[in-house]
Amino acid sequence: MSTWAPSASISTRITLSDIVQTTHSPDPAYETPVLQLISESRSKGYDSVCLPLTTDAWKKRWTDMCIVPETAGDEKRKRESRRESRMFVSRDTTADKKAEKWRENPCFELDEVTITRLGLWYTLLRTAIEGLTEASSSDEAQNVTAIISEWLELDTEDDWIRCDAEIALQQELAYASYLNIQTAILPPPRNREYVSSYARIINACLRKIPYMNLAVRLPVYDPHAIQDPARPSTSVPGTPRSGIFPGGLKLVNPAKSLEAQIDAAWEVWDLIRTICEYNTRLSLALDLGPPLPPSLSVLSKWSAESVRYIFLPASTFIANAKGYPVLPKPTQTFIRDSMAHRPNIVLANVSSSLHSRGGEDAYSQYIKHLETTSPIVQSTKTAGTVENFAQGYQDFLQAPLQPLMDNLHSITYETFEQDPVKYRNYEEAIYAALMNLPQGTRIVICVAGAGRGPLVARSLKAIDRSKRNAFIYAVEKNPNAYVTLQNRLRSEWQRKVELLFGDMRQVNIPEKADILVSELLGSFGDNELSPECLDGAIRFLKPGGISIPSSYTAHLAPLSSSKLYNEARSVKDLKSLETPYVVMFQAVSILSGDGGGASGKCGLKIQECWEFEHPRRDGVLNEQGLPPTNTHNTRSAKLSFHIPHAGVLHGLAGYFEAVLYGNIGLSIHPLRKDSISKDMLSWFPLFFPLREPLYLPSNSELHVSIWRLTNQRQVWYEWHAESFLSIQGTSFELSTSLSTPSLGSTPRANSILTMSPSPAAPSPLIDAIEIPLERRAHKEDAEPSRMMNGLLKIGHTGLHNADGRSSWIGL
Amino acid sequence: MSTWAPSASISTRITLSDIVQTTHSPDPAYETPVLQLISESRSKGYDSVCLPLTTDAWKKRWTDMCIVPETAGDEKRKRESRRESRMFVSRDTTADKKAEKWRENPCFELDEVTITRLGLWYTLLRTAIEGLTEASSSDEAQNVTAIISEWLELDTEDDWIRCDAEIALQQELAYASYLNIQTAILPPPRNREYVSSYARIINACLRKIPYMNLAVRLPVYDPHAIQDPARPSTSVPGTPRSGIFPGGLKLVNPAKSLEAQIDAAWEVWDLIRTICEYNTRLSLALDLGPPLPPSLSVLSKWSAESVRYIFLPASTFIANAKGYPVLPKPTQTFIRDSMAHRPNIVLANVSSSLHSRGGEDAYSQYIKHLETTSPIVQSTKTAGTVENFAQGYQDFLQAPLQPLMDNLHSITYETFEQDPVKYRNYEEAIYAALMNLPQGTRIVICVAGAGRGPLVARSLKAIDRSKRNAFIYAVEKNPNAYVTLQNRLRSEWQRKVELLFGDMRQVNIPEKADILVSELLGSFGDNELSPECLDGAIRFLKPGGISIPSSYTAHLAPLSSSKLYNEARSVKDLKSLETPYVVMFQAVSILSGDGGGASGKCGLKIQECWEFEHPRRDGVLNEQGLPPTNTHNTRSAKLSFHIPHAGVLHGLAGYFEAVLYGNIGLSIHPLRKDSISKDMLSWFPLFFPLREPLYLPSNSELHVSIWRLTNQRQVWYEWHAESFLSIQGTSFELSTSLSTPSLGSTPRANSILTMSPSPAAPSPLIDAIEIPLERRAHKEDAEPSRMMNGLLKIGHTGLHNADGRSSWIGL
Highest averaged pLDDT of the listed ranges A386-400, A460-474, B735-749: A460-474
DSSP characters over B264-320: HHHHHHHHHHHHTTT-TTEEEEEE--SPPPS-GGGGGGGGGS-EEEEEEEGGG-EE-
Q: Is the peptide bond before B615 cis (omega within 30 degrees of 0)?
A: yes
Residue contact A638–B695, C-beta within 8 A: no
Residues 6 or more apart in contact with residue B290 via CB below 8 angstroms = B219, B220, B221, B222, B223, B241, B242, B749
CA B316, CA A563: separation in Å to the nearest integer? 56
Do A162 and A197 form a contact (C-beta atoms < 8 A)? yes
pLDDT of res. A256: 55
Q: What is the CA angle B268-B271-B273, rounded to 5?
A: 110
CA A395, CA A236: separation in Å to the nearest integer? 42
CA A138, CA A143: separation in Å to the nearest integer? 9
Do B271 and B203 form a contact (C-beta atoms < 8 A)? no
Highest averaged pLDDT of the listed ranges A6-10, A425-429, B22-26: A425-429
List, as ranges, residues 727-786 from B with C-beta within 8 Å of A. 727-728, 732, 734-736, 739
Question: Taking CB atoms and an 8 Å cutoff, what residues of chain B touch A632?
Answer: 83
Is residue A691 predicted with pLDDT exceeding 90? yes
**Minimal-distance CA residue of chain B relative to A90:** B618
Which residue is catalytic, options B172, B519, B701, B733? B519
List, as ranges, residues 168-187 from A with C-beta within 8 Å of B. none
Closest Cβ opposite residue A735 in set B103, B698, B727: B727
pLDDT of res. B783: 30
From the number of C-beta atoms within 10 Å of its C-beta (0-12, 13-18, 19+), residue B419 rates as: buried
CA B544, CA B514: separation in Å to the nearest integer? 8
Give B335→chain A minimum CA distance, Å. Answer: 29
Q: What is the CA angle B540-B542-B548, rounded to 5?
A: 70
Mapping DSSP to helix (H, G, I), strand (E, B) and coil, where does residue A139 land? helix
B519 labelled catalytic: yes
CA B167, CA B649: separation in Å to the nearest integer? 35
Global confidence as pTM:
0.87
Residues 6 or more apart in contact with residue B285 via CB below 8 angstroms = B185, B215, B216, B217, B218, B308, B309, B310, B311, B346
Do B661 and B737 form a contact (C-beta atoms < 8 A)? no
Among B592, B503, B498, B14, which residue's Cα sits nearest to residue B297? B592
List, as ranges, residues 304-333 from B with C-beta within 8 Å of A. none
Helices then strands, each counted (H, E), chain A: 24, 27
Do A284 and A272 form a contact (C-beta atoms < 8 A)? no
Tell me which amino acid residue B379 is: S
Residues 6 or more apart in contact with residue B227 via CB below 8 angstroms = B233, B241, B747, B749, B750
CA B190, CA A39: separation in Å to the nearest integer? 73
CA A575, CA A569: separation in Å to the nearest integer? 9
DSSP state of B540: G
Among A783, A776, A733, which residue's Cα sits nearest to residue A294? A776
Do B260 and B226 form a contact (C-beta atoms < 8 A)? no
pLDDT of res. A87: 52
Is residue A486 predicted with pLDDT exceeding 50? yes
Residue contact A207–B803, C-beta within 8 A: yes
Question: How confident is the model over A461-490, as a mean pLDDT?
Answer: 96
What are the beta bridge partners of residue B4? Answer: none
Report CA B20 to chain centroid distance, whole Å. 40
Backbone angles phi, psi at A578, to 5 degrees: -130, 15
Mapping DSSP to helix (H, G, I), strand (E, B) and coil, where does residue B129 land? helix
Question: Taking CB atoms and an 8 Å cutoff, what residues of chain A touch B101?
Answer: 628
Pick from B94, B104, B164, B196 the residue to mutate for testing the A interface (most A CBs within 10 Å): B196
Tell me which amino acid residue B419 is: D
Mapping DSSP to helix (H, G, I), strand (E, B) and coil, where does residue A300 land? helix
Backbone angles phi, psi at A548, to 5 degrees: -115, 110
Do B214 and B184 form a contact (C-beta atoms < 8 A)? yes
pLDDT of res. A126: 56
pLDDT of res. A91: 59
Q: What is the CA angle B71-B72-B76, rounded to 5?
A: 80
Phi-psi region of B698 (alpha: psi -120 to 50; beta: other; left: phi over 0): beta
Mean pLDDT estimate for chain A: 84
CA B762, CA B767: separation in Å to the nearest integer? 10
Do B573 and B670 form a contact (C-beta atoms < 8 A)? no
Report CA A132 to chain centroid distance, whole Å. 40
pLDDT of res. B768: 52
Which residue is catalytic, options A371, A528, A701, A718? A528
pLDDT of res. B74: 53
- Containing A556, the helix (H) or strand (E) segment is strand A551-560
Residues 6 or more apart in contact with residue B313 via CB below 8 angstroms = B242, B243, B244, B289, B347, B348, B349
> Which of A96-110, A268-282, A597-611 has the lowest average pLDDT?
A597-611
- How far, CA to CA in Å, does A263 sit from each of A41, A696, B92? 35, 11, 59
Is residue A503 predicted with pLDDT exceeding 70? yes
Is residue A482 predicted with pLDDT exceeding 80? yes
pLDDT of res. A762: 44
Question: Taking CB atoms and an 8 Å cutoff, what residues of chain A touch B619?
Answer: 86
Q: What is the dihedral of CA A532, A536, A537, A539, to 10 degrees?
A: 130
Closest Cβ opposite residue B197 in set A101, A104, A636: A636
pLDDT of res. B179: 87
A356 and chain B in contact, CB less than 8 A? no
How many residues belong to chain A? Answer: 811
Report CA B710 to chain centroid distance, whole Å. 34
Residue contact B86–A619, C-beta within 8 A: yes
A644-677: pLDDT as tens digits? 999 999 999 999 999 999 999 999 999 999 999 9
B428 labelled catalytic: no
pLDDT of res. B758: 37
Do B497 and B474 form a contact (C-beta atoms < 8 A)? yes
Pick from A799, A801, A805, A808 the residue to mutate for testing the B interface (most B CBs within 10 Å): A799
Report CA A186 to chain centroid distance, whole Å. 22
CA A127, CA A134: separation in Å to the nearest integer? 8
Question: How confident is the model over A214-240, as a mean pLDDT?
Answer: 57
Mapping DSSP to helix (H, G, I), strand (E, B) and coil, where does residue A474 land? strand
DSSP state of B624: T
Mapping DSSP to helix (H, G, I), strand (E, B) and coil, where does residue B3 land? helix
Do B354 and B314 form a contact (C-beta atoms < 8 A)? yes
Q: For chain B, list residues with pLDDT below 50.
A: 1-3, 88, 118-119, 132-140, 226-255, 729-762, 769-789
Percent of chain A exceeding pLDDT 70 equals: 82
Q: What percentage of chain B's residues is helix, strand, coil (to nearest 5)?
A: 35, 25, 40
